[in-house]
Amino acid sequence: MIQRPRGTRDFLPDEMERRRHYEGKLRSVAKRFGFRETATPIFEDSELFILRSGPNIVDELYAFRDKGDREIALRPELTAPTIRMFVNSMSNDPKPIKLFYFGQCFRYERPQSGRYREFFQFGAELIGSATPDTDAEAIALAAAMIEELGLKDFRLKVGHIGVLRQKLKEAGIPDGNLAEILQKLDKKAYEEAVPLMEAAGVDREVMDGIFEFTDTVGGIEVLDRVPGDAGDYLRSLVSRLTAMGIEDFDIDLGVVRGLDYYTGVVFEAEAPALGAEKQILGGGSYSLSELFGGEDVFSTGFAIGFDRILLALEKEGLEYENEGIDAYVVPVSDDVRSEAAEITAMLRKAGISCDTDIMERKMGKAMKHASSVGARQAVIVGTKELESDSVTLRDMSSGEQTLVPISELIGRIQS
């Protein structure tokens, strides 16, 4: 028996229905905010992701040479392909450009709970100008999406990477070492950051001050520790978020998003139900388009780990009930199967989700099958009933049965 590749999953019908249900909720919220859906190829030139994340990303890529001897990689994320698409096809469009996407991504890493080699990402990008309103719009969309899914316990954290970048530069960290140190600080891996900062000649007292700064979390009073333009920008952002009804978030000066292209506001969301690996969303303002041959354009956006947020919903005990179907048509005997097929087709044309017995079961087994597929009504087609152009309609939850003229069947089921 051939098994599926490690780090991938098969989604059976019940799980697929659940996933489409929550995916639909995210799409609905994005459209309410004026975002429009896009799609990009599952594979791209490897260079796209190396430019975005640095050469170390190669070890995590599913990369290969195609038959034209081109270096190709399955996409590990969706921001870079979206900005590449913007540079190729949308750079002259009126701003702001509000885009959202959903799709599979691939990373060659060790599978663990909530982490797979093939995973799904739902995200949004807002391409326009650098204002508190654009960042607030992205954060408000992210919060609205999480709430729409029904997750109860989550925490939104907002920071500004520019402040920490400035502190590291003032401490003497060369630009070439910033990204690696920021990644360590992002994970609060201070012991791993120490030798990197010592190698750059950073004094231990200065180093400890930076570590303390990244541990600073609280309400608006935290902004007193943020100097200059960054502090003013964050105050304006908080004002916009409050006006939009978003008040339950932390100012976290340790939100780093350790990647070079983040330039200003950064934000994350965590679900405590997931334990140590609790991040479900991450994003911020960034500059990528010039890396891909375009002009320098402000962007802000985020990505939701779709698999992880579904796992968080499970951990909180939120159960999804499968929709089932409106009706199941049961022919009582073989001589009425043609009439049963005709009635089934009539119901489907009327927009009623409907199935019928095509396995030539006896009536009792057919009724059991109707129950197993979640049918709300059973349409029982018998010779005697057909003599009066009628069928028997059974409510599958109550067991109540009614003789219904075929001409009235659609209306009865719909009501």
Q: Are 261 and 291 contacting, i.e. CB atoms less than 8 angstroms apart?
A: yes
Mean pLDDT score of the chain, rounded to an integer? Answer: 93
CATH code of the domain containing 368 = 3.40.50.800
Low-confidence spans in the chain with pLDDT less than 50: none
Beta bridge partners of 265: 160
* 69 and 49 in a common domain: yes
Last residue of a domain, one of 271, 286, 315: 315
Q: Hey, how many other C-beta atoms are within 10 angstroms of the C-beta on 66?
A: 9
3 state DSSP class of 337? helix
Last residue of a domain, one of 273, 294, 315: 315
Is the preceding peptide bond at 81 cis, omega within 30 degrees of 0?
Answer: no
What tens digit of pLDDT does each residue of 197-232 get? 988 888 898 999 889 988 888 988 988 888 888 899
* 252 and 128 in a common domain: yes
248 occurs within a structural domain: yes
Token representation of residue 367: 């009724």
CATH code of the domain containing 214 = 3.30.930.10
Is the preceding peptide bond at 96 cis, omega within 30 degrees of 0?
Answer: yes
Token representation of residue 93: 């469009």
Buried (b) or exposed (e) across 120-134, using 16+ Cβ within 10 A? bbbbbbbbbebbbbb
pLDDT in the model for residue 262:
80
What tens digit of pLDDT does each residue of 299-348 get? 999 999 999 999 999 999 999 999 999 999 999 999 999 999 999 999 99
7 occurs within a structural domain: no
The Cα 83–Cα 69 span in angstroms is 25
* 192 and 337 in a common domain: no
* 337 and 247 in a common domain: no
2 occurs within a structural domain: no
Q: Are 97 and 124 contacting, i.e. CB atoms less than 8 angstroms apart?
A: no
Q: Are 230 and 130 contacting, i.e. CB atoms less than 8 angstroms apart?
A: no
8 occurs within a structural domain: no
Instruction: Please give the share of the chain, as a percent, with pLDDT higher than 90.
Output: 73
* 330 and 231 in a common domain: no
pLDDT in the model for residue 114:
67
Q: Hey, how many other C-beta atoms are within 10 angstroms of the C-beta on 39?
A: 12
* 299 and 359 in a common domain: no
Domain that holds residue 206: 13-315
Q: Hey, how many other C-beta atoms are within 10 angstroms of the C-beta on 193?
A: 23
Return all residues near 323 (Cβ < 8 A) that are at least 6 apart. 17, 374
Tell me whether strands 249-252 and 217-218 are parallel, antiparallel or unpaired: antiparallel
* 332 and 247 in a common domain: no
Of 349, 415, 334, nearest in space to 377 by CA: 415
6 occurs within a structural domain: no
* 333 and 244 in a common domain: no
* 405 and 286 in a common domain: no
372 occurs within a structural domain: yes
Name the DSSP class of 47. Answer: H
Within 13 A of 228's CA, how many CA atoms are on the CB side?
Answer: 8
The Cα 279–Cα 142 span in angstroms is 13
Domain count, the chain: 2
pLDDT in the model for residue 108:
93
Last residue of a domain, one of 265, 281, 315: 315
* 132 and 63 in a common domain: yes
* 357 and 279 in a common domain: no
Q: Are 52 and 288 contacting, i.e. CB atoms less than 8 angstroms apart?
A: yes
What tens digit of pLDDT does each residue of 255-285 get? 876 566 788 899 999 999 999 889 999 999 9
3 occurs within a structural domain: no
1 occurs within a structural domain: no
